[in-house]
Structure 1
């Protein structure tokens, strides 16, 4: 990898699917031009807004959600550094979800019309884009299983194990101890649980030495332990292609 791509979350993300040559790296780096900072709790877009671009999340965390008729919300996904935000909506005229920052963040907008250039310039990047959208779909399918068939303990442990696994794709090293900007409220909205139920489960996990909570952050003290509670199998997150050119 060239020096100017060192530290690029999106390059690291794509290289977890396929080896990239210099041309592919430079095309990807063009996605990260003109970064803009977004403060915590700032909306990136609202449901119903025009769907004219997607974003690369260079720093910070965000989540997508749908507001419900009774005033509650369903959190659909958590975005970590290196993720592409809004790619699954690029074929729609309007946003089908809302996105808000969970921490101070840095994102780079990429107009939807520029996808034509990526697709016509690189078969590798085109294929990786397809794999990323397929993996996003697999995550949503696993989320359905989590919501419908697992206990509260398993739901929470599985969700946290998944996030830690996804972080390993774009971060140089993730230890067994990990700090996440996730509140009990966000997790409750993601898992379809009440805040009281999440709080009770957190208490159990704290007593078991699996996690700590402090200052609107969640510290995973024993990721392997959480994986054991969840019966976590990362098969749905694994890449079809990892180190060779397509």
Structure 2
């Protein structure tokens, strides 16, 4: 593999799903635009903006959200380093969500109109794209179960453990403890809970030695313990068929 592909955001992501030959790597490299830095709290795009590209999150964290009529918001997803941002919207002319940086971040743009070239040039890349979107859909389905049928303790624990598994997928180093740049308000908006409810649940988790909070960060002290609280089953995050 070339040095350029070693540094490529999207090549690294695609290779977590399937081995890419040199031609596929070079095709991705030719279509990917260079990384740009985005400061914390910067809006990447607003709902209704023109949908002309998706991005690979090389460094940092972001979230997608919808503003509601009553002034509140629903956080739809939290993106971790290595994730693809905006892939759900590539078939729409306008953005269906807004995206904001949760920390200082670095993103690589991938113009939407270049997808036709990928689809016509590489069966491997087409397959990987399908696997990525299928796994994204599985995460959303599990999120619906989490929102609708689990207690507040289970919701919070499940969401945090899922993030740790997703970080492993993008080759991040994860032990039994992990620091996340997530405020209580972001988690409340993601899980349909009040800030007071999140704070009370976090107090319980702190007393149980599962996590620490402070300065808009979460430190997961015992991921295995949180997994037990959530009754977490990683089946929906399993490796693609091609790796079996």
Asked if the contact 2:55–2:107 (Cα under 8 Å) also holds between the matched residues in 1, the reply is yes
Asked if the contact 1:32–1:56 (Cα under 8 Å) also holds between the matched residues in 2, the reply is no
Query: TM-score with structure 1 length normalisation?
Result: 0.94
Mark the CA change 1:11 to 1:77 in structure 2 (over 3 Å): closer, same or farther.
same
Matches within 5 A, 1:134-213: 134-213=134-213
Q: Distance in 2 between matches of 1:81 and 1:9?
A: 10
The CA deviation at 1:23 is 2.0
The CA deviation at 1:32 is 4.4
User: Which stretch of the first structure deviates more once superposed, 201-210 or 19-28?
Assistant: 19-28
- Per-residue CA distance 1:144-167 (angstroms, 9 max, x = gap): 100000000000000000000000
Are 1:133 and 2:152 an aligned pair? no
User: In the comparison of the two structures, how many residue pairs are matched?
Assistant: 244
Asked if the contact 1:16–1:243 (Cα under 8 Å) also holds between the matched residues in 2, the reply is no
Asked if the contact 2:139–2:237 (Cα under 8 Å) also holds between the matched residues in 1, the reply is yes
Aligned match of 1:15:
15
Three-state SS of the structure 2 residue aligned to 1:187 is: helix
Asked if the contact 2:32–2:111 (Cα under 8 Å) also holds between the matched residues in 1, the reply is no
Query: TM-score with structure 2 length normalisation?
Result: 0.95
The CA deviation at 1:179 is 0.6
Three-state SS of the structure 2 residue aligned to 1:6 is: helix
Which segments of 5 or more consecutive residues in structure 1 lack a partner in the other structure? none
The CA deviation at 1:177 is 1.0
The CA deviation at 1:7 is 5.2
Which segments of 5 or more consecutive residues in structure 2 lack a partner in the other structure? none
Aligned match of 1:49:
49
- Per-residue CA distance 1:178-202 (angstroms, 9 max, x = gap): 1110000000000000000000010
Asked if the contact 1:63–1:100 (Cα under 8 Å) also holds between the matched residues in 2, the reply is yes
The CA deviation at 1:242 is 4.5
Q: Distance in 2 between matches of 1:200 and 1:26?
A: 51
Matches within 5 A, 1:41-120: 41-120=41-120
The CA deviation at 1:128 is 0.8
The CA deviation at 1:108 is 1.5
- Per-residue CA distance 1:108-142 (angstroms, 9 max, x = gap): 11111000111112111111111111111111111
CA-based RMSD of the aligned residues comes to: 1.5
Q: Distance in 1 between matches of 2:172 and 2:187?
A: 26
Q: Distance in 1 between matches of 2:113 and 2:12?
A: 24
